[in-house]
Amino acid sequence: MSAPERISSIVIVGGGSAGWMTAAALSRFLPTHVAITLVESDAIGTVGVGEATIPNIATFNAMLGIDEDEFLSATGGTFKLGIEFRDWGRLGERYMHPFGQFGYDLAGTDFHHFWMRQRAEGVPHELAEYSLNTKAAYADKFARSDGDPRSPLAPMRHAYHFDASLYAAFLRRHAEGRGVSRIEGRVVDVEKKGESGHVQSVLLESGQKLSGELFVDCSGFRGVLIEQSLESGFESWRKWLPMDRAVAMPCEAVEPPRPYTISAAQRAGWIWHIPLQHRVGNGHVYCSEHCNSDEALAALEQALPGEPLAGPNHLHFEAGCRHEYWKGNCVAIGLSAGFIEPLESTSIHLIQTGIAKLLALFPDRSFHAPDRDEFNRLLRVSFEHIRDFIIMHYIASARDDSPFWQQMRQTEPPQSLSEKIALLEGYGRFSRNDEELFTLPNWLAVLHGQGRGPRFYSPMADAIPQANVTQGLDNMRAHIAKTVRAMPSHQDFLERFCKAAPARSAGTVQ
C-alpha cells in the first residue's frame, strides 16, 4: 500500500454561517497539519437574518465541544420547541408543528392509530394534547431534558433561535482558535488547472493569490466557484415552489420571547417571526408574480409586533439545487449548494448535512470518484426530501382566496410526494426512506394541522381492548399536563442559564 496523497491545504470561500460552520468543523476533525484558510469580505453582506433551527443542530455543537448555555448567551439565542403555523390550512386557523413525538406507541403500533380509534369513538382530545412540546410551547415554558430516558422530560426536543451573524462570529472564534486563518478580501478571478479542470487558486481584489487542494464554496447564492467557475448547473424547483423574494426587518421585542417560531401565511407567501432575547427577527417570503416588493414590505410592516430596528433588507432567490454539489476539487456548502425557503428552518441543517458528509467522505488528492458520487447522491436525497415536505404545506391547504393560493392548489406535486401522501392519508402509514429528516410525527402534525390526514387507522390498533387504550391515552395526557406545570417559564430559564452577553458584533471579535 503506497502512502496516499493527502490534502494539505483547504480554502473556504465565504464566511457567514456556512463558511464558519465548515471552518470550525474541519479544524476540529482534520489532522492538524492541514492548512485551512477562509476568505471573506466584510463588504459582502451575509444573508443571515434571525435564524431558526431544528434539534439536530445540538449534535453539531456538541461535536465541536460547544456548551449550550454559552452559545445561547453569545448569540442572543432562545429555545425553540416548534413552529406555529397560522392561516395555512384555512384563514383563521392555527396549529403547532412541534419537535418530538406524539404520545407513545402501544404494543408496537404507532400512537396515532390509537388516537384515531378514540376519535372514531367520539373521544374529543386533540392530537396536540399528546405533544409535550406543544403543551409547553403554548404555556411559554421550557425545561431541558438531561438525557435520562426515564425522566418525564425525556420526550422534550428543542432547537434554537439565534442571531446568525453572532453565531458565525462565535464559530469564528472557535475556528481561529484551532488555527484557521482568515483573509479579508473579495474573489475576483478563479484559476483552473488545464487538464483536470480543478480549481487551482482564487485571486483576490488585493492581488493576492490563494492556492488550495480542496475548495469549499460557501459564497452564497452566486456560487462563485461551483457555478461561476465550474458551471455545475442549477435545477430549478420553481414549478413547485414559486416563492422567489423575501424582505427581512428586525423589530423590538414587546413581550418575553416565545419558545417557538411563527409562520403566518399571506396572500402570496408567508411571514416569519423569530423571537431572540434582544429583538424579534421578521421576514416575508413571497412570490413576485403575485406580489410586488412594496406590497410585500407593507404587509410585513403591518405584521411587525414592535418598532422596526432597521430598514428592510430585500433578497432574491430561486428554489432549487446544484446538479453537482461536489465537482472536481470543489464542494458547495450552504446557499451555493441550493436553496429551499426557510419554512421549516432547514437551512442550517442542510449546511450541517453537507459538512457531515464531507467529513465522512473526506477526499485525498486523487478525489476518488465513488466517494464524490456518494456525496452527491446523499445530498440530493436530503434536498429532495425537504423540498417535498415544504411543498406539502402549500398543496395541503384549502385556501383559495387569492390567485397565488389558487395556483398552488393546481400544482402537480413530485411523484415522491404524491406517494408519501397517498400512504399517509390512506391508513396512516409512514415508511422512512434513507437520509430522511422529517418523520411520521412531522408529516402528521402538518397534514392534520391543515385539516387533512389519514382517513383510516391501522387494523392492528383494534387488537388492544378499548379500556386499555382509553387508560393509556388518559395517562399520557395527564403525564404531559403534570410535567408542563412543573417547568419554569422560558424567560426564567433564559435569564437563569443563558442570558445574552452584552451585544457584540462580528467586527469586534478577535
Partner 1 sequence: MNEHEIRQIVILGGGTAGWMAAATLANVLDAKRISITLVESDAIGTVGVGEATIPPILLLNRMLGIDENDFVAKTDATFKLGIEFVNWGGLGEAYLHPFGSYAVDIETLPLHHHWLRQRAYGYSVPLSKFSLMSQAAYGNRFMAPVTDNPRSVLASIAYAYHFDAGLVARYWREYAEARGVKRIEGKVLAVDQDSETGHVNTVTLESGEEVAGEFFIDCSGFRGVLIEGTLETGYADWREWLPCDRAVAQQSTKVGPAVPYTRSIAHGAGWQWRIPLQSRMGNGHVYCSEFVSDDEAASILADNMEGEALADPRILHFTTGRRRKAWNKNVLALGLSAGFLEPLESTAINFIQSGLARLLALFPDKRFNEADIEDYNERTAFEWEKVRDFLVLHYTATRRNDTPFWQYCQSIQRPDGLERRLAQYRGNGRVFREKGELFTEEAWLAVMNGQGIEPEGWDPIADRFDLQEMRRRLDSVHDLIGRAVESMPGHESYIAQHCKSPNAILQGA
Give catalytic residue positions.
80
Q: Quick one: DSSP state of residue 141?
A: B
Closest separation in Å from C-beta 214 to partner 1: 10
- Residues contacting partner 1: total by CB under 8 A: 44
29 interacts with partner 1 by CB under 8 A: yes
Which residue pairs, CB below 8 angstroms and at least 24 apart, start in 192-195? 192/229
97 in Cβ contact with 112 (< 8 Å): no
* 382-401 binders of partner 1 (CB under 8 A): none
220 in Cβ contact with 14 (< 8 Å): yes
Say whether 282 sits in a helix, a strand or coil: strand
Closest separation in Å from C-beta 443 to partner 1: 14
Closest separation in Å from C-beta 430 to partner 1: 9
* 95-134 binders of partner 1 (CB under 8 A): 107-109
Bridge partners (DSSP) of residue 290 are none
Closest separation in Å from C-beta 88 to partner 1: 25
508 interacts with partner 1 by CB under 8 A: no
Give the one residue of 140, 289, 435, 495 binding partner 1; rule: CB under 8 A. 435
Length of the chain: 510
Give the one residue of 12, 18, 21, 30 binding partner 1; rule: CB under 8 A. 30
Give the one residue of 181, 196, 431, 468 binding partner 1; rule: CB under 8 A. 431
- Alpha-carbon distance of 328 to 308, in angstroms, equals 45
88 in Cβ contact with 393 (< 8 Å): yes
456 interacts with partner 1 by CB under 8 A: yes
Q: What angle do CA 232, 344, 174 make, to 5 degrees?
A: 70
Give the one residue of 302, 434, 467, 510 binding partner 1; rule: CB under 8 A. 434
* 405-424 binders of partner 1 (CB under 8 A): 419, 422-423
Strand order in the sheet with 234-236: 234-236, 320-322, 338-339
- Of 138, 93, 398, 409, residue with least CA distance to 264: 93
What does 80-138 look like in DSSP terms, one character per residue? E-EEEEESSSSTT-EEEEESS-SS--BTTB-HHHHHHHHHHTT----GGGG-HHHHHHH
363 interacts with partner 1 by CB under 8 A: yes
Give the one residue of 4, 177, 179, 233 binding partner 1; rule: CB under 8 A. 4
- Among the listed ranges 125-133, 141-149, 408-416, 433-441, the one in contact with partner 1 (CB under 8 A) is 433-441
Indicate the residue among 66 and 361 with the shorter CB distance to partner 1.
Answer: 361
Can you give the binding site for partner 1, defined by CB under 8 A? 1-4, 6-7, 29-32, 63, 107-109, 359-364, 366, 368-371, 373-374, 419, 422-423, 426-427, 429, 431-435, 456, 458-460, 462-463
